């Protein structure tokens, strides 16, 4: 089993002290749809699954190094509540957790200050509440949009919803694509849809949710990733969190290799966001190791990598407390909202 290097871990700990989203790269402007490039994209499913299956045995961090990587993971979390029973009170409590994600005594013992989550992600109706609750911080509000999670509301309403969320103060918009365009191979329709949604976002950054659990094959996932990047997506994201199958390591490997191919061709960096089902600290470490292996250190920064999660933060805080005390606390001591 290989251990990540001391230099890598120190760099991660230093990065975890920084405040978020200063953009370190040129925003993706998109490009003309290249159908020949899309048609050439393949995905070797068995090889991808083998590579993903070996990751846990090849990458490991322990003790102080693990604590440093977990602190870094906190700065990459889009702390999320997307429930039908969301209230203003719940969102305010979630925002308070985003501002102070770890108990102050833990940060004091680790010598850190100013650590926050990457963003707070809510439905449109809660955007203004979240913006007010986060005043005085650099934490952006992300809004799920375009008929989330199915993406089947009338198209003009989906576009209008983006504009409403931006006007309410959302700095990031997580849109859902029309899965039928992928399943029928209508790449022009997917490109046109994504391009118009990107334009509706204006200065707000757009994360394209592929809902990979509903795309049938890894090849479809790879091609949809590429088309969304051609249309100007700032991030590509696995899932809404509402599908039967959400983020997985094979899907992640497929999508981040599409990101690498796009950068090789265009010179533009695009971000990645796995969402749904990432609830344990050990899982976050695997995703971070895969990002570093495949794309390098820039993709361990919040302007290029986020976790879509809610319960993940609680488990990370428990692991940090165990690191300092040798004891696990009850999970109900780390409520999100």
- Tell me the pLDDT tens digit for each residue of 306-335: 999 989 999 999 999 999 999 877 766 766
What are phi and psi for residue 328, nearest 5 degrees?
Answer: -90, 135
The Cα–Cα gap between 278 and 286 comes to 10
Find the catalytic residue in 8, 174, 234, 303: 174
Residue of 72, 207, 237, 269 with catalytic role: 237
Is 237 in the active site?
yes
| Active-site entry in 72, 273, 283, 303 | 273
Residue 105 CA to its chain's centroid (Å): 28
User: Minimal CA–CA distance to 237: which of 318, 224, 116?
Assistant: 224
Domains of the chain by start residue, with CATH: 6-19+33-334 (3.20.20.70)
* Residues 306, 15, 128, 310, CA torsion sign: positive
pLDDT in tens, 159-170: 999 999 999 999
241: CB partners within 8 A, 6+ apart: 80, 82, 149, 275, 276, 277, 308
126-162: buried (b, 16+ CB within 10 Å) or exposed (e) per residue?
Answer: bbbbbbebbeeeebbbbbbbbbbbebeeeeeebbebb
Please, which residues bridge with residue 205 across strands? 172
Residue 301 has a pLDDT of 96
What sign for the dihedral angle of Cα 56, 279, 121, 254?
positive
Per-residue pLDDT of the chain (337 residues; tens, 9 = 90+): 334 443 444 444 444 443 334 577 899 999 999 999 999 999 999 999 999 998 877 667 888 999 999 999 999 999 999 999 999 999 999 999 999 999 999 999 999 999 999 999 999 999 999 999 999 999 999 999 999 999 999 999 999 999 999 999 999 999 999 999 999 999 999 999 999 999 999 999 999 999 999 999 999 999 999 999 999 999 999 999 999 999 999 999 999 999 999 999 999 999 999 999 999 999 999 999 999 999 999 999 999 999 999 899 999 999 999 999 998 777 667 666 5
Residue 272's nearest CA partner among 239, 230, 235 is 235
Q: What is the pTM of this model?
A: 0.92
pLDDT of residue 5: 42
Reduced 3-state DSSP string for the chain: CCECCHHHHHHHHHHHCCCCCCCCCCCCCCCCCCHHHHHHCCCCHHHHHHHHHHHHHHCECCHHHHHHHHHHHHCCEEEECCCCCCCHHHHHHHHHHHHCCCCHHHHHHHCCCCCCCCEEEECHHHHHHHHHHCCCCCCCEEEEECCCCCCCCCHHHHHHHHHHHHHHCCCEEEEECCHHHHHCCCHHHHHHHHHHHHHHHCCCEEEEECCHHHCCCHHHHHHHHHHHHHCCCCEEECCCCCCCCCCCHHHHHHHHHHHHHHHHHHCCCCEEECECCCCCHHHHHHHHHHHHHHHCHHHHCCCCECEEECCHHHHHHHHHHHHHHCCCCCHHHHCCC
What pLDDT score does 60 carry? 73
């Amino acid at each position: 089993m290989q251990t990540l290097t001391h230099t890598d871990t120190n760099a991660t700990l230093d990065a975890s002290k920084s405040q978020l989203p200063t953009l370190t790269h040129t925003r993706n402007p998109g490009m003309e749809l290249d159908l020949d490039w899309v048609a050439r994209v393949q995905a070797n499913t068995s090889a991808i699954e083998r590579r993903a299956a070996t990751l846990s045995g090849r990458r490991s961090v322990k003790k102080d190094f693990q604590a440093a990587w977990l602190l870094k993971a906190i700065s990459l979390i889009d702390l999320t509540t997307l429930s039908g029973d969301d209230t203003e009170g719940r969102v305010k409590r979630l925002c308070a957790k985003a501002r102070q994600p770890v108990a102050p005594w833990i940060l004091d013992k680790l010598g850190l200050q100013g650590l926050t989550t990457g963003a707070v992600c809510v439905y449109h109706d809660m955007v203004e509440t979240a913006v007010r609750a986060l005043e005085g911080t650099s934490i952006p509000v992300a809004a799920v949009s375009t008929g989330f999670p199915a993406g089947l509301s009338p198209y003009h309403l989906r576009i209008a919803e983006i504009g409403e969320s931006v006007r309410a103060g959302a700095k990031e918009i997580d849109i859902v694509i029309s899965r039928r365009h992928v399943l029928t191979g209508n790449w022009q329709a997917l490109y046109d849809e994504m391009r118009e949604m990107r334009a509706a976002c204006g200065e707000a950054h757009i994360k394209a949710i592929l809902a990979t659990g509903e795309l049938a094959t890894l090849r479809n996932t790879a091609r949809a990733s590429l088309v969304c990047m051609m249309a100007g997506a700032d991030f590509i994201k696995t899932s809404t969190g509402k599908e039967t199958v959400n983020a997985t390591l094979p899907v992640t490997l497929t999508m981040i290799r599409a990101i690498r191919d796009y950068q090789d061709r265009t010179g533009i960096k695009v971000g990645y966001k796995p969402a749904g089902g990432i609830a344990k600290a050990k899982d976050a470490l695997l995703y971070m190791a895969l990002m570093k292996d495949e794309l390098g250190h820039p993709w361990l920064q919040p302007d290029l990598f986020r976790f879509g999660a809610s319960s993940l933060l609680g488990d990370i805080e428990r692991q940090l407390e165990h690191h300092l005390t040798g004891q696990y606390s009850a999970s109900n001591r780390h409520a999100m909202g």
